[in-house]
Amino acid sequence: MEKILRMILPKGHPGEKVVELLGRIGLRFSAADRSYRPACSDGEVEAKFLRPQNIPRLVELGRHDCGFTGLDWVVEENADVVELMDLGLDPVRIVAAVPEELVRSADYASRELVVASEYRKITMDYIEKKKLNCVFVQSYGATEALPPEDADMIIENTSTGTTLEENRLVIVEEIMKSTTRFICNKEALEDQWKKRKLDEICMLMKGALNADRRVLLEMNVPGECFEAVVAALPCMKAPTVSGLHNEEGYAVKAAVPVDEVPGLIPKLKEMGARDILEYKLEKIVE
């Protein structure tokens, strides 16, 4: 029997980053502009594009083996799925925000409020926790446009808070943080072939994401400063070292955190390292 892993990809901006990441591990997708069913370079993977909101429940129901969606939608749908991996992509905060003029009012938390959101469950849980006197209004996009005429408070996701500020909304509380997660159906893990396939995908994605956080530095180091240079390298375990021709020092390689490179290279140069090369990494599989 043919082995197929059924995967859901999120439509829109989150999906672009997921597809790019999967492409880096050999899962390349191609489709016509209006197609929801892209072809995959791996004949063992069958994919479909859907809205992130729909993905948790459909994976739970076993309509698909696995999918990518935000943690916010997993929580919102209260989906009984297995989280295989936090990709860390598209980080957002789910926040409660009110108009500037309302937040200055001392009684806003005690009087009846109209609260709007795309997140029904998350909002109702927040209302119950805070014991607010509220009427809930389901929104369908552009939630930040509702206040002040049509809502006193919104529960919305934000990455920078800029859109909220532009609409004169003030964050009064952060409810949760969310990033893109790789989830799967529980029964899929009971199938040994699917489990192995999912494990391989996770391993390769982790390798690609790890590579984004590091670069490879290669340098020649004279013997008299070798120990000091090696001690200064923030490598993963230990640098790779080999002797230079005619015993004129050492060739040293190390994968170092990318955000430390601007300060590290001048420091290594000052310590005596020379011919320093920097390489972008594709994968680091630990």
- The pLDDT tens digits for 87-102 are 999 999 999 999 988 7
- The pLDDT tens digits for 183-214 are 999 999 999 999 999 999 999 999 999 999 99
The pLDDT > 90 percentage for the chain reads 80
Instruction: State both tokens at 257.
Output: 């955190």
Q: What span, in angstroms and rounded, lies between the C-alpha atoms of 46 and 13?
A: 21
Looking at this protein, which amino acid is placed at residue 170? V
Look at domain 92-178 and name its CATH class: alpha beta
pLDDT (0 to 100) of residue 108: 62
pLDDT (0 to 100) of residue 63: 96
Region 144-173 average pLDDT: 92
Mean of all residue pLDDT scores within the chain: 92
With a cut of 80, say whether residue 34 has pLDDT above it. Answer: no
**CA 212 to centroid of chain Cα atoms:** 13
Q: Which of 172, 184, 206 is nearest to 284 (CA)?
A: 206
**Range 214-280: architecture per CATH:** 2-Layer Sandwich (3.30)
pLDDT (0 to 100) of residue 196: 96
Domain ranges of the chain: 5-89+179-211, 92-178, 214-280
Question: What's the predicted TM-score (pTM) here?
Answer: 0.88
Region 33-50 average pLDDT: 90
With a cut of 90, say whether residue 286 has pLDDT above it. Answer: no
Distances (CA, A) of 44 to 27, 40, 215: 10, 8, 32
Query: In the chain, what is the straight-line distance between the N-terminal and C-terminal CA atoms, in Å?
Result: 34
- The pLDDT tens digits for 212-236 are 999 999 999 999 999 999 999 998 8
Q: Which of 59, 69, 20, 16 is nearest to 180 (CA)?
A: 69
With a cut of 90, say whether residue 119 has pLDDT above it. Answer: yes
Instruction: State both tokens at 19.
Output: 């597809």
- The pLDDT tens digits for 120-141 are 999 999 999 988 889 999 999 8
The CATH topology of domain 5-89+179-211 is D-Maltodextrin-Binding Protein; domain 2 (3.40.190)
- Write the CB contacts of 30 (distance below 8 Å, at least 6 apart in sequence): 38, 39
214-280 matches 92-178 in CATH topology: no
With a cut of 60, say whether residue 59 has pLDDT above it. Answer: yes
Region 249-262 average pLDDT: 94
Instruction: State both tokens at 216.
Output: 């490879």
Instruction: State both tokens at 175.
Output: 């409810």
pLDDT (0 to 100) of residue 190: 95
